Structure 1
């Protein structure tokens, strides 16, 4: 429900001005004496950011102007990532509705409310309670299925597999923005080692975004490739797929026992890429996927060392006729 009131500015003391807030509005938003309200000055005027701390948790609200679709789309995506839960937009409601329907494909839970004849549109975004660990597992599983779909297409050339891959791309976009939203939420609440884990997750999101974009470009090129060209990438893509899947499983589950297998696959793929006479865009994409997957695996090793919980015995030099030296705090 939209509402509007005109209030006069009053003088407070010798240097400040104030505007009173309607009591009903304050009751609706849970604003009480002492509640924090953020004022932001920009080119269009003054924005009031209301932090509502009710029984259901914290709500962040903001008001936007629908200046252009491109700018508004970026602002709404930023609001989503920053944890805003309610947005009021002034502009043509029907035009906004079309934009919001498009954005809802990548911003999970976005809902528009209010009349299509109103000059204001209210957008409600969900609070994000999903854990970043669950998101990492879901993202890893999704990209695994994406690799499998493209690999099966390379072997069978069945077009429905590329259509299946398209649906995975769209699902990843949703998880990517949801992951940024969840990570920003956690960074406000945790510290120490937990904060480092959130930082790892943000790096992971950036890496997998590049990985998925590379897969997108590869999928687009596969449409136009002939049988001989496709045959040439079967073996390198098979190894890239295995390395990527293992690295993703490492990050999601933290099972460092997979590292020796990844190291073995690295060597095999490195030899294949060195022998390859192709330096076309497709092979460049495979090289990029290999590098990204390797970076994800290295990040897990770094996390393992940081947490001093590494079970990878080969990290420690063996003594003659004995066991590796003990490390304080190392997991048994």
Structure 2
């Protein structure tokens, strides 16, 4: 840490000197410019000119499976790289198609450069274009609709609707990855706080909520897959129990998100206080499964997923 005494000119301007060693290390010269950025909480950041250039990385395609390449690209996307170059001795059409499909699963990443041996993905959106508040609410809207449709698909044995819910999980994943990328950029570059309008501490809560909503979406997918395995229509009694538990789970989910968005601690405590005893609900799930042995596995999956979604 460097310490400097604040001085005042005759005209009332405050000034401090910059540490010589630091200035030389980052390339500051006489007549050069630095950016002064007020950050959340009070600190003032001194950013040398050219310090925030685009980040680039190179990934070798040779010998990688699709899963391995997808993991690598997503990891570098979350890490905040603006340009991700994928290179090989000669990229085959199926490999090029694979890179394109991975890029389409990431918000803001587009293929802007291509040669026989390289494909370059570029980030074409600004972080300000996706306010965290709006992104979280969009994730919630999709997740809630997925859960509703998953239950409808299960109760009506609607395979088409069940498959549609499974496909929509990709929309949630893309938004959650975007939130993770924004959080990573915040951790790496304090100046990003000014761009986003949130501190790293505040954004951590949005990141946590996004992860929790993603889990709810995953449970909606599990329910939809269970719906595809149902052999007969659920009985009226089982359907009533499922609807009842779904209604309670939906109410808790909506209340929790509303409490977070409105910073309403009273509502948050109300939601927590009105969660029913899990053991009682597990017993209800077991009874429902026993009522229809042919659908026992699917019913157990549905009830368990609803229990976990509400938590």
Q: TM-score, normalised by structure 1?
A: 0.62
For residues 177-197 of structure 1, the C-alpha deviation after alignment (integer angstroms, 9 at most, x for no partner) is 111111112233259x93322
Alignment of 1:86-105 (within 5 A): 86-91=83-88, 92-93=90-91, 94-105=93-104
C-alpha change, 1:289 and 1:201, in structure 2 (3 Å) is: farther
Instruction: Give the whole-Å Cα distance in 1 for the aligned partners of 2:206 and 2:306.
Output: 18
Aligned to 1:64: 59
Unmatched 5+ stretches in structure 2? 1-25, 29-48, 290-296
Instruction: Give the whole-Å Cα distance in 1 for the aligned partners of 2:279 and 2:270.
Output: 14
Aligned to 2:211: 206
Alignment of 1:1-332 (within 5 A): 34=27, 58-67=53-62, 68=64, 69-91=66-88, 92-93=90-91, 94-116=93-115, 118-126=116-124, 127-129=126-128, 130-188=130-188, 189=190, 190=193, 194-225=199-230, 226-228=232-234, 231=239, 233-259=242-268, 262-263=271-272, 265-267=274-276, 271-278=280-287, 280=297, 282-283=299-300, 286-287=303-304, 289-291=306-308, 293-294=310-311
Report the 3-state secondary structure (helix = DSSP H, G, I; strand = E; otherwise coil) of the residue aligned with 1:114: strand
C-alpha change, 1:233 and 1:244, in structure 2 (3 Å) is: same
C-alpha change, 1:143 and 1:290, in structure 2 (3 Å) is: same
How many residue pairs get aligned? The number is 243
For residues 133-153 of structure 1, the C-alpha deviation after alignment (integer angstroms, 9 at most, x for no partner) is 222111111111112222333
Instruction: Give the whole-Å Cα distance in 2 for the aligned partners of 1:70 and 1:272.
Output: 38
Q: CA deviation at 1:219?
A: 0.8
In the alignment, is the contact (CA less than 8 A) between 2:249 and 2:309 conserved in 1? no
Unmatched 5+ stretches in structure 1? 1-32, 36-52, 295-332
Q: CA deviation at 1:201?
A: 2.5
Report the 3-state secondary structure (helix = DSSP H, G, I; strand = E; otherwise coil) of the residue aligned with 1:227: coil
In the alignment, is the contact (CA less than 8 A) between 1:106 and 1:174 conserved in 2? yes
In the alignment, is the contact (CA less than 8 A) between 2:84 and 2:120 conserved in 1? yes
In the alignment, is the contact (CA less than 8 A) between 2:150 and 2:161 conserved in 1? yes
C-alpha change, 1:105 and 1:195, in structure 2 (3 Å) is: same
Q: TM-score, normalised by structure 2?
A: 0.66
| RMSD over aligned Cα atoms | 3.3
